[in-house]
Structure 1
Amino acid sequence: MAKTYIGILDGVTGAFGVRIPDFPGCHGAGNSHGEAIADATRALREFATDMIASGEKLPEPSEIFAVMEAAIDEDGPNIVAIGIPLLLDQSRSVRANISLDAGLLEHIDDEAKRRGITRSAFIASAAREKIIAGH
C-alpha cells in the first residue's frame, strides 16, 4: 500500500524547506513551495531506499495531529503540514492496459524516442511527476 508521510513546510519567499519528522535528517529545499515539496519527495525516496538497503524498517506514518502538535511546540503556530508520498520502486513491472487518445500517444512515443526511453518509462515518469506536483 502506498504511504504518505507528513512534512512540515516553512520558509520565506525564495527559500523554502520541508522536513519530514518521521525521518529525522530528511529534508527538502527549494526556491518555491513546489520545488521544496518535490525535493522533499526525492529526499524521502532516497532516505527510505538507503534504510531498506541497510536492513532498517521504515516507520509507519505518524498521525497528522501528532506531527502538527510537535511542530507547533518546536516552531510555533505558523506551520504548514503537507503530505509527502513515498514513491518506492518495487523492482517489478505490472502490465496495465490503458486507453489514450491516438494523437496524445503519438506525442508520447515521439518524446520517449527523443529521450531514448520506452513508452512505459515515459508514462511512469510523467505519472511520478504528477503525483509529486499534486502534494
Structure 2
Amino acid sequence: MRYVAFVHKDPDSCYGISFPDFPGCTSAGDTMDDAIANGTKALAFHVRGMETDGDTIPGPHSLEEIVIDPEFADELDGVSFALVPLVRDLGSTTRINVSLDLGLLKAIDDEARSRGQTRSAFIASAVRRELVE
C-alpha cells in the first residue's frame, strides 16, 4: 500500500515531506531520496502510534483525489509528489516458501554471510530497500 506524499523544498533548506492522509506526519532529508526514505520511516512510526491509540488507519487516497481536494489547494504550489509505501514492522516473523534460481540463492547466501546476516535478514533488508526506491 502506497500513500501520496508532498515533497517540499524551500531555498536554503532541506527537503521536507508530508502526508495528506496523515496530518502531522512529516520528515525531511538533505536530498529528495533521503526525504522519501525518512518519510517511509516516519509514516510507519506515525501509523504505529495511531494503532497504539486505537485510531483508524485511513486507506490511501489517489493522487487525483488529493489534487482536486480544496483542503490541499494551498499546499500544492511548487510541491513534488511521491508514492511512499507503508512498511509496517508487526513484531513477528512468518515462514514463507519462495522459489529462487540456485545461482541467485548462492549469491544471497554468500552476501549475507559476508555481512554477518542470516539469509532471512538479508532478504528482508533488500526488500525494504527495494520498496523505498
What is the TM-score when the length of structure 2 is the normalising length? Answer: 0.81
1:71 shift after superposition: 7.1
Gaps of 5+ in 1: none
1:26 shift after superposition: 0.7
1:106 shift after superposition: 4.0
**Seq. identity, %:** 33
Letter of the 2:61 partner, please give it. Answer: S
Q: Which string of whole-angstrom CA distances, capped at 9 and with x for unpartnered residues, describes residues 86-124 of structure 1?
A: 01134341412221453x544433442344431011111
CA–CA separation in structure 2 for the residues paired with 1:72 and 1:56:
22
The equivalent position to 1:4 in structure 2, one of 2, 5, 9, is 2
CA–CA separation in structure 2 for the residues paired with 1:34 and 1:131:
13
Q: Which string of whole-angstrom CA distances, capped at 9 and with x for unpartnered residues, describes residues 27-61 of structure 1?
A: 12111111101110010011111211222221111
1:65 shift after superposition: 2.2
CA–CA separation in structure 1 for the residues paired with 2:46 and 2:113:
31
CA–CA separation in structure 2 for the residues paired with 1:15 and 1:100:
42
> 8 Å contact 1:10–1:18 — kept in the other structure?
yes
Q: Give the paired residue count.
A: 130
Which moved further from structure 2: 46-55 or 64-73? Answer: 64-73
What is the TM-score when the length of structure 1 is the normalising length? Answer: 0.80
Could you list the runs of 4 or more consecutive aligned residues of structure 1 that deviate by over 6 angstroms after TM superposition? none
1:12 shift after superposition: 4.7
> 8 Å contact 2:18–2:39 — kept in the other structure?
yes
For 2:22, the equivalent position in structure 1 comes to 23
